[in-house]
């Protein structure tokens, strides 16, 4: 009786045939640079087409990532000294920033991302 049990277990799929194991596709070799580039091209790091106002902004271009746009806007704000000295969370807009931020004279630092969203053109 023990022989019939062990033979039925082997027949039920105890081992795969050699031909099924040899069907695996070859692995693609991924370098560290490829992995870093793929990681940088996801989410907010992926360049997107932007509006004319954002592309003409200093440091802008026809395609900018969301993180890159925030970075150039902050660099401009700090370079021009546009933060309110009494309240550092408030930005006093000049003409270039007014073009980006719908003509507003003052914005809060937490509003920058929301005000930049309309400048990214949806591709899908």
Going from N- to C-terminal start, the domains of the chain cover 47-119
Tell which CATH classification among 2.170.190.11, 1.10.245.10, 3.30.2320.80, 1.50.10.20 matches the domain 47-119: 1.10.245.10
Please tell me the predicted confidence (pLDDT) of residue 46.
84
Residue 57 DSSP class: S
Dihedral sign for Cα atoms in the order 82, 83, 89, 90:
negative
Give the span between the Cα atoms of 50 and 121, in whole angstroms: 5
pLDDT for 20: 56
Q: How far is CA 89 from CA 81, 86, 92, in A?
A: 13, 9, 10
| pLDDT tens, N- to C-terminus, the chain (124 residues) | 555 555 555 555 566 656 655 667 777 777 877 777 666 677 778 888 999 999 988 888 899 999 999 999 999 999 999 999 999 999 999 999 998 998 999 999 999 999 999 999 887 6
pLDDT of residue 42: 72
pLDDT of residue 40: 65
pLDDT of residue 94: 93
């Amino acid at each position: 009786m023990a022989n019939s049990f062990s033979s039925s277990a082997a027949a039920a799929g105890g081992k795969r045939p050699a031909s099924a194991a040899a069907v695996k596709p070859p692995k693609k070799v991924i370098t560290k640079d490829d992995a870093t580039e793929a990681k940088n091209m996801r989410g907010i790091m992926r360049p997107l087409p932007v509006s004319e106002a954002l592309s003409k902004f200093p440091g802008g271009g026809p395609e900018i990532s969301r993180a890159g746009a925030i970075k150039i806007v902050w660099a401009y704000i700090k370079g021009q000294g546009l933060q309110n000295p009494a309240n550092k969370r408030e930005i006093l807009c000049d003409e270039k920033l007014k073009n980006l931020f719908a003509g507003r004279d003052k914005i809060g630092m937490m509003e920058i991302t929301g005000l930049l969203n309309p400048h990214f053109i949806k591709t899908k």
